[in-house]
């Protein structure tokens, strides 16, 4: 009865989709079934905090993902909030119950050998003329600086300082930082500028341009990176952010200090950068499995 009333409330008053309402109903029916299995005298109104915790343990023992368990706990919280609003009960057995921590997936990255092939192998075709040179320069800029897509799109000519070999990027909340670059990226940036001048004449403003001469749009950057990575890598995600992950992973694999990588990436917290330590360790594990005869 109460589950049906809750479903009507979600459907009619909260305007939830039929699919979402059905999901809430399934979760509550499962919980109701668990109560009956645990104690035939238990029901939705007599359930207490201990039995909710027991349900969490039971779901985890059955191999449910932490995200699924937390979603079902969220369903219970909404349901008992509804019962309190309706005056059916004045307490919630979910109060104080904490769900399992959701595991953050390790960031994906492209292997160094694949990046070398993408940038150095003349057989890898990223386009002809100005577009091809620009595409390869964009890939190199992402991989050799770790900048975000919005930061790359927002670059202006004045942000590139060849004298000091630094790029000024404007990150989140308009926070600015300077990223150094080396011989390889300097050569590519200058080659791109020559191609840009030949294509559009002298321009001053946006650094990376579209084939029409305006600032390169977000969707073009995403597509060119996706197409380029598809030529050399089988990573499931093929986006500019994967190249940012690849930059950080490569730096740490070559003994860069974590604090330095944090500054280059523009992270506010060292904890955000620490996830790449786990990524590099994962890579070491894979190398170990492939190389050691007893792995």
Which active-site residues does the annotation give? 148, 172, 241, 244, 267, 276
Cβ pair 54, 38 in contact under 8 A:
yes
Which string of DSSP letters, residue by residue, matches 220-274?
A: HHHHHHHHHHHTT---S--SHHHHHHHHHHHHHHTT--HHHHHHHHT-S-HHHHH
Q: Is 171 helix (H, G, I), strand (E, B) or coil?
A: coil
Q: Which H helix or E strand runs over 197? A: helix 183-200
CA angle, residues 156, 160, 162, in degrees to nearest 5: 155
Half-sphere exposure of 178 (CA within 13 A, CB side): 9
Phi, psi (deg, nearest 5) at residue 166: -135, 155
């Amino acid at each position: 009865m109460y589950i049906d009333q809750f479903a009507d409330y979600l459907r009619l008053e909260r305007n939830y989709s039929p699919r979402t309402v059905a999901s809430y109903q399934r979760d509550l029916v499962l919980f109701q079934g668990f109560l009956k299995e645990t104690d035939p005298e238990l029901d939705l109104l007599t359930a207490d905090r201990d039995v909710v915790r027991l349900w969490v343990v039971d779901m985890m023992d059955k191999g449910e993902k932490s995200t699924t368990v937390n979603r079902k706990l969220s369903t219970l919280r909404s349901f008992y909030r509804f019962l309190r609003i309706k005056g059916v009960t004045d307490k919630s057995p979910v109060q104080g119950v904490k769900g399992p921590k959701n595991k953050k997936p390790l960031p994906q990255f492209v292997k160094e050998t694949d990046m070398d092939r993408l940038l150095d192998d003349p057989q890898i075709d990223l386009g002809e003329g100005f577009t091809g040179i620009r595409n390869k320069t964009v890939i190199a800029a992402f991989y050799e600086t770790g900048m975000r897509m919005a930061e790359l799109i927002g670059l202006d000519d004045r942000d590139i300082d060849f004298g000091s070999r630094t790029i000024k990027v404007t990150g989140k909340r308009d926070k600015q930082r300077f990223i150094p670059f080396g011989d390889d990226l300097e050569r590519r940036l200058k080659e791109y500028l020559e191609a840009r001048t030949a294509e559009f004449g002298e321009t001053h403003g946006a650094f990376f341009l579209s084939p029409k001469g305006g600032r390169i749009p977000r969707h073009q950057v995403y597509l060119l990176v996706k197409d380029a990575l598809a030529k050399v890598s089988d990573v499931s995600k093929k986006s500019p952010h994967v190249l940012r992950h690849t930059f950080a992973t490569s730096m740490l694999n070559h003994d860069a200090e974590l604090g330095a990588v944090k500054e280059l990436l523009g992270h506010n917290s060292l904890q955000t950068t620490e996830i790449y330590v786990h990524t590099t360790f994962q890579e070491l594990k894979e190398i170990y499995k492939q190389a050691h005869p007893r792995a």
